[in-house]
Structure 1
Amino acid sequence: MSAILALPLLIILMAIGLPVAWSFAGVLAFLTFVYDINLNTLMLQGFRSLNSLVLIALPLFILAGYLMEAGGIAQRIIAFVGRLATGRGGMGTAMVLSSSVFGAISGTATAAIASIGSIMTEPLVARGYPRGRIAALLGVSSLLGILIPPSITMILFAVVTRQSVAACFAATIGPAILLIIGLILYNRFLVGRAFDELPIPDQKVESFGSVTFRALPALSLPLIILGGIYGGIFTPTEAAAVAVVATLVVGGLIYREFTWKSLGSSVIQAAETTGTIILILLFSFMISRIMAFERVPQDLTEAIQSVVGSPLGALLVVNLVLIIAGALMDDVSVTVVIAPLFLPLMVASGIDPVHFAAIVACSVVIGANSPPVAPTLFLSCRICKAPIMEAVMPALGLMGFVALPVMLVTSFWPDLSLAIPRALGLM
């Protein structure tokens, strides 16, 4: 059972500052040495696992996210949502809804934080929002990109667990809607209690009709992408290519904000992100082969079932492990390591793999904003220019009162995540 040491070793390597991809390489080297595995054969199996058409969608959706930021698309979306969201907590609502629309195009949290945070932080500060609360709300709402399809995390889950990408996409729609409602209501509750939202200063404001007209091309992108996928017009992989082309057309020909420099920067950023994820995937596939050969998932399933004794208890244990792992590792690591490791236990407990996909996605929302690692929250604080200590308590409030209940409802109410895939004939 030396393979059980792989997860603590991975966490230790990441904690001492080793890049995530090379932390996986270190774990692979350890397992190869312990079990005396033929590395040449293992490498060949890893490359075969990467030979997947589904993975082509990965760099394309990532590129679409960076192109949105460079092409002025995010600004139009935020301007439209800002005029649409009125009443108490309207500016916070605008941030949540903007993250939702952004996620329906790019499928990633990083680009959403950079785009939405850089545009909305100062207006929110001017309305009376504390920077720490802005960073916390941005960190949690940006992860709607993981729940709202298309989602890069769900692409990775589908690849490592051999599930339908479209079904995994659809499974997270219900939890995403629940999280959006929860974030908006929680923010509205805080306004006037924890802080005051000041009125908009007297200034010339563009009419709603004008803002809507300018935003229509940007708002058409999620309709094209999601409508094409679930309308059977193209596959998720083809949708990724459509997303890039549509973003280039809208940003380049309609808004005309692309420059050669911004295009080059977007491609470089997308390539760096993709390269890191592919390396992690390669090493994780090889690690998974070793663990499967050593029957680690099966032994883990038997051990937990012997201790817990009920499917409900097993589900609670997995929820707890996902939250703890998410607080120590990034979303990609959780998805490619924890998901395949616990999938046999979930299947043995009567949990559908597509339902498990939604549970994993919800856990990432909590873990990515939980100390000590909290990569999403740290990035949000950097963009919002907020001290991390001012953002921790607001983030814990959002997760304790919104994100955690959403995860528990998703876990124990299967129809929330399975109804839409079934209705669309994906299961």
Structure 2
Amino acid sequence: FSSGITGAGAADTAAIGSVMIPVMIKEGYKPEYAAGLMAVGATVGPIIPPSIAFVIYGAMTEVSIAALFLAGFIPGFMFTLALMAVARYYAVKQNHPICIIEITWKGFLKATIEALPAIMMPLLVLGGILTGIFTPTEAAGAGVFYSLVIGLFVYRELKLERLWPILKETAIMSGGIMLLVANASLFSWILTAEGIPQKVADGIQYLTQNPYIVLFCINLLLLFMGCIMETLATIIILVPVLLPLIKSLGIDPLHFGVVMVVNLSIGLATPPVGVNLFVAAGIAKISLEKIGKAVWLFLVALLIPLALITYIPQISLWVPRLFLK
């Protein structure tokens, strides 16, 4: 659910991890496992709509952002199943504590009603985009305004004096992203002027014209880049290089967008410098070495849906084709 609000892995790690990691440690879970679970769980964030990574990719490639959002549903669900399977394995192997909470229908109904305003926000954003009421940019504004209203007047947990620090932090973060975009646009222009994308495409096609082998090589590149670079920066730098290549091989740019974001999402929780690992380790107050050991099995499990998404395009393309005919 948090993924459907923030659209960013690090934000999900911070938002959910700051609440869940201390509680899990208190309940008897190892700190490295609790932190690792939050870090890998948040890899779903950039895949589930609305996703910042999809917005940037769509803006750079002129691929429909609404189609990218829809294309992320099934891959995100596959990621979730893979993570749940590993969590189940660890629960049995390490005899994790069982927390039993009695829930009455009355309590369930009350909690649902209280959560309804927050639950409506992803529906507002996605529904508005898919029905054509507003563009993705306008949807972001609508989502912010809706959050402001329910924070101030419904839940009353947001105070007016907090608005300025929030706006300031958002401006700094957005400014950083736009600085990346501006420099990447210049970098893209230089690459195009020098014919680098075509040379890369020609070089790879000289070695092989098999799209399966090319996708395998691109996956290795993206996984590596995701480990050492921030997701948005990687998209901005690599899209101008890789897009001409995948088009020349007849690969759908929509499908490739999902493959790219899925790869980079795994990189968010991959040692040594996955952003999610830094956030979760800071919350749990443990070293990166400890959390790194706790996430490896989760990461191996995620390679299975990655392979399926890469080599079965229909997994990504079926939902967009169903709704956007």
TM-score by length of 2: 0.94
CA distance in 1, matches of 2:52, 2:6: 8
Which residue of 1 is the match for residue 314 of structure 2? 415
Which residue of 2 is the match for residue 227 of structure 1? 127
Alignment check: 8 A CA contact 1:140 1:365 kept: no
Alignment check: 8 A CA contact 2:9 2:268 kept: no
Which residue of 2 is the match for residue 257 of structure 1? 157
**Residue 238 and residue 120 in structure 1: after superposition, are their counterparts in 2 closer, same or farther (change >3 A)?**
same
Within the candidate set 39, 43, 51, 1:143 is matched to: 43
Which residue of 2 is the match for residue 277 of structure 1? 177
Instruction: Please tell me the residue identity of whatever aligns with 2:308.
Output: V
Which residue of 2 is the match for residue 291 of structure 1? 191
Size of the aligned set, in residue pairs, is 324
CA distance in 1, matches of 2:68, 2:111: 34
Which residue of 1 is the match for residue 76 of structure 2? 176
Which residue of 2 is the match for residue 239 of structure 1? 139
Identity %: 31
RMSD of Structure 2 on Structure 1 (CA): 2.0
The one-character-per-residue Cα deviations of 1:128-154 (angstroms, maximum 9, x if unpaired) are 221111222211222322111111111
Tell me how far 1:339 sits from its aligned partner: 2.2
Unaligned runs of 5+ in 1: 1-100
Which residue of 1 is the match for residue 323 of structure 2? 424
Which residue of 2 is the match for residue 318 of structure 1? 218
The one-character-per-residue Cα deviations of 1:247-287 (angstroms, maximum 9, x if unpaired) are 01111110001113322222122111111110000000000
Q: How does 1:21-40 map to 2 (within 5 A)?
A: none
- Match of 1:232, SS state, is coil
Asked if residue 131 in structure 1 is aligned to residue 31 in structure 2, the reply is: yes
- Match of 1:146, SS state, is coil
CA distance in 1, matches of 2:134, 2:209: 44
Unaligned runs of 5+ in 2: none
- Match of 2:92, SS state, is coil
Tell me how far 1:239 sits from its aligned partner: 0.9
CA distance in 2, matches of 1:108, 1:199: 29
CA distance in 1, matches of 2:259, 2:226: 12
CA distance in 1, matches of 2:235, 2:99: 42
Alignment check: 8 A CA contact 2:50 2:122 kept: no
Instruction: Please tell me the residue identity of whatever aligns with 2:305.
Output: V
Alignment check: 8 A CA contact 1:127 1:200 kept: no
Instruction: Please tell me the residue identity of whatever aligns with 2:168.
Output: I
CA distance in 2, matches of 1:247, 1:207: 25
TM-score by length of 1: 0.72
Which residue of 2 is the match for residue 104 of structure 1? 4
